[in-house]
């Protein structure tokens, strides 16, 4: 993961390099602040980190500060013993839900799991078509309906079909039009309720997809979705090609939720498991000798 991360964060690292012109063994508080700002870490978090650091900072001290942002108690809901494991994919339009479903399907197939997709973003015909194309391309089955139909019916049918066919993992696409928030909240709540009718304890995980290029607005969205239906984990997309790689720190700090994967491109293989240790080290490698 480490080398891929370095490539993914090229732009963030270049931004850091503009400030940290040459690598050193110690840096000042001002330098550290400037570097973190350049990587788009949120200011309040930077201030908080600096409070506990000495005037000149070594790599170990910087490491301990940054890694502490990820050290919160979390409930990793990835108990895959249940079958089917029902996962709902949630987030605003354009965050990368449908693409991430394709990536997760590929990932699960590689682990020899059987997957069934549920096209429950029935609001736009294009959304159903997009997921259907991925299903064909990845050779995974899909349950879908026509545009405008009740998304909860798709949820029910997908889970029922997965049970009948002994499928390991269900991935349910959802709509994300946040501007009609009340409707969306009702719709998502109903989907959760119906999933639970189709299978007790389902959905087993509600995964929020956040656009890594959006900074603090994605954090506000996350809070809204969490209030609506409760979120169990996060995938941050579009970390390729952005200089805002530091947003991962802000997201972890503000939301204190498990970050499962990061999206690193538009293709099904462009998904990597998030490891805080590797992430922090890619940043520090640009600063310290």
Of Mg ion, ligand GDP, none, which one sits near residue 91, judging by CB under 5 to 8 A according to partner kind? ligand GDP
Residue 94 makes CB contacts below 8 A (sequence gap 6+) with 176, 211
215: left (phi over 0), alpha (psi -120 to 50) or beta: left
Q: Is residue 7 at the binding interface for ligand GDP, with CB under 6 A as the rule? A: no
Angle at 165 between CA 160 and CA 169, to 5 degrees: 75
Out of 232, 240, 254, 286, which residue is the one contacting ligand GDP (CB under 6 A)?
Answer: 240
Q: Among all residues, whose Cβ is closest to ligand GDP?
A: 263
**Of 134 and 288, CB closest to ligand GDP:** 134
Taking the CA of residue 145 as centre, how many other CA atoms within 13 Å lie in the half-sphere pointing to its CB?
20
Q: Interaction with ligand GDP in 73-102: which residues (CB under 6 A)?
A: 91, 93-99
User: Minimal distance in Å, beta carbon 180 to Mg ion?
Assistant: 16
User: Minimal distance in Å, beta carbon 83 to ligand GDP?
Assistant: 26
Q: Is residue 222 at the binding interface for ligand GDP, with CB under 6 A as the rule? A: no
Of ligand GDP, Mg ion, none, which one sits near residue 264, judging by CB under 5 to 8 A according to partner kind? ligand GDP
Of 162, 164, 180, the C-alpha closest to 172 is 162
User: Minimal distance in Å, beta carbon 97 to ligand GDP?
Assistant: 3
**Of 101 and 280, CB closest to ligand GDP:** 101
User: Minimal distance in Å, beta carbon 179 to ligand GDP?
Assistant: 14
**Of 74 and 178, CB closest to ligand GDP:** 178
3-state DSSP of the chain: CHHHHHHHCHHHHHHHHHHCCCCECEEEHHHHHHHHHHCCCCHHHHHHHHHCCCCEEEHHHHHHHHHHCCCCCCCCCCCCCCCCEEEEEECCCCCCHHHHHHHHHHHHHHCCCCEEEEECCCCCHHHHHHHHHHHHHHCCCEECCCCCCCHHHHHHHHHHHHHHCCCCEEEEECCCCHHHHHHHHHHHHHHHHHHHHHCCCCCCEEEEEEECCCCHHHHHHHHHHHHHHCCCEEEEECCCCCCCCCHHHHHHHHHCCCEEEEECCCCCCCEEECCHHHHHHHHHHCCEC
**Of 19 and 128, CB closest to Mg ion:** 128
Q: Interaction with Mg ion in 93-152: which residues (CB under 5 A)?
A: 97-98, 127
Q: Is residue 237 at the binding interface for ligand GDP, with CB under 6 A as the rule? A: yes
**Of 92 and 248, CB closest to Mg ion:** 92
User: Minimal distance in Å, beta carbon 123 to Mg ion?
Assistant: 9
User: Minimal distance in Å, beta carbon 101 to Mg ion?
Assistant: 8
Q: Is residue 266 at the binding interface for ligand GDP, with CB under 6 A as the rule? A: yes
User: Which part of the chain contacts ligand GDP (CB under 6 A), choosing from 155-163, 238-246, 250-258, 277-285?
Assistant: 238-246
Q: Is residue 265 at the binding interface for ligand GDP, with CB under 6 A as the rule? A: yes
The residues binding Mg ion (CB under 5 A) are 97-98, 127
The residues binding ligand GDP (CB under 6 A) are 91, 93-99, 176, 237-238, 240-241, 263-266, 270
């Amino acid at each position: 993961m480490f080398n891929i991360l370095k490539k993914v964060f090229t732009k963030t690292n270049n931004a850091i390099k503009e400030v940290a012109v040459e690598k050193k063994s110690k840096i000042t508080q001002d330098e550290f602040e400037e570097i973190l700002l350049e990587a788009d870490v949120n200011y309040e978090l930077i201030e908080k980190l600096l409070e506990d650091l000495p005037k000149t900072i070594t790599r170990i001290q910087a490491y301990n500060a940054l890694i502490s942002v990820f050290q919160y108690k979390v409930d990793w809901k990835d108990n895959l013993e249940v079958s089917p494991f029902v996962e709902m994919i949630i987030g605003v339009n354009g965050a990368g839900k449908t693409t991430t479903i394709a990536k997760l399907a590929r990932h699960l197939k590689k682990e020899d799991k059987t997957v069934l997709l549920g096209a429950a973003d029935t609001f736009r015909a294009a959304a159903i078509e997009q997921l259907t194309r991925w299903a064909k391309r990845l050779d995974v089955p899909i349950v879908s309906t026509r545009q405008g139909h009740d998304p909860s019916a798709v949820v029910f049918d997908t889970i029922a079909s997965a049970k009948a066919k002994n499928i390991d993992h269900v991935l349910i696409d959802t709509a994300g039009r946040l501007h009609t928030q009340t409707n969306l909240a009702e719709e998502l709540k109903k989907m959760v309720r119906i999933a639970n009718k189709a299978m007790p304890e389902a959905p087993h995980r509600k995964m929020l997809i956040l656009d890594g290029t959006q900074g603090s607005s994605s954090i506000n969205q996350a809070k809204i979705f969490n209030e609506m239906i409760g979120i169990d984990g996060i995938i941050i997309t579009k970390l390729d090609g952005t200089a805002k790689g530091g947003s991962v720190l802000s997201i972890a700090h503000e939301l204190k939720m498990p970050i499962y994967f990061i999206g690193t491109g538009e293709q099904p293989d462009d998904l990597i498991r998030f490891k805080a240790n590797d992430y922090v080290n890619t940043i520090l490698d640009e600063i310290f000798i």
